[in-house]
Structure 1
Amino acid sequence: MVDRALAHVNLPPGLAGEIKAVNSVLQVQFPVKLRDGSYHVFKGWRAVHSTHRLPTKGGIRYAPNVSQDEVEALAALMTYKCAIADVPFGGAKGALIVDPRQHDAAEMEAITRRFTRELVEHEFMSPSGNVPAPDMGTGAREMAWMADEYKRLRPQDINHLGCVTGKPVTAGGIRGRVEATG
């Protein structure tokens, strides 16, 4: 898709490669103890396509069949969408291989909080640098857990409410967010 579009524009040498390249990708694997006492190792990613504008912005996807390639492509699409709409963000996207239908709320909270810890500890989540949002398989509930975990890990950050978007109003979100994103 990108190559087809780039064929119609006259870019300086090397710029096409810069437009297509993903800036950075974090891959994480971590265990979570499930309610039955067993442990499961979860795998996930957070890709940052472009930091030409900060913060970077993009959803967190929970799905059983997501891949790093998909995350990188979706991060690039976020950059392009923000640029076309003249929204001052770079593009990012995250995903975790998990089927939310296979876990109860307590397990999903533990999984989400652990994923959040990985993102924060590796500097892939912050109000001024990399801001997640809901995507397929996630919603306001997961964003509230992520925001709470971020605040627990970074209590000195006075801007902690800006670490994610899509939170419930009761957790610092804004009215009309669901309607605004379609």
Structure 2
Amino acid sequence: MKRAAFFDVDGTLTRRTTMFDFLEYSLAARGFPPDAYHRARAHLRGLAARGVPREDACRAYYRLYSGLDADETEAHGRAWFKESFGRGDFFIEETVAAFRRHAADGELTVLISGSFPPCLTPITEYLGADILVCSRPQIGNGQRYTGNLATPVIGEAKAAAVGAAQRPGWKGACWS
């Protein structure tokens, strides 16, 4: 069995919290004024301040995408990454260097995050990661986000995903 190297994304590989950086970009791209992002962020911070579990706050975040077209959101993700990366301070270079050493040694490289594909797919592609384990919002008929979270990868669910990957018979493709 091939060895695997796991990398968290936000604050480990990237200098930004991808979910919030992308939310700000996405709202602006859809024509919302800047205060829409600040209100959404304040609401989510308020949940945390009231002691709402992280998993529930994460679900509240994904409800912000309810009704949005998944393909359009993916396109916004690619544009967000291009713009963010272009500023030159997107990645933490020491961690990227470690990632590249693991990849060069032939290890399976796994990105794991509570964020979601519009933010993470461009990062996965840029780095050439083998597997992406991330939260997956539910997509309904018409390729629109339902506002529900089909696969959470935060807190205990993130730990469980890493644990599952270490068991014999794990197929990384089920996450990618």
Q: TM-score, normalised on structure 1? A: 0.33
Q: Of the two structures, which has the highest relative contact order with CA contacts closer than 8 Å and spacing of 6 or more?
A: 2
Name the structure with the higher strand share: 1
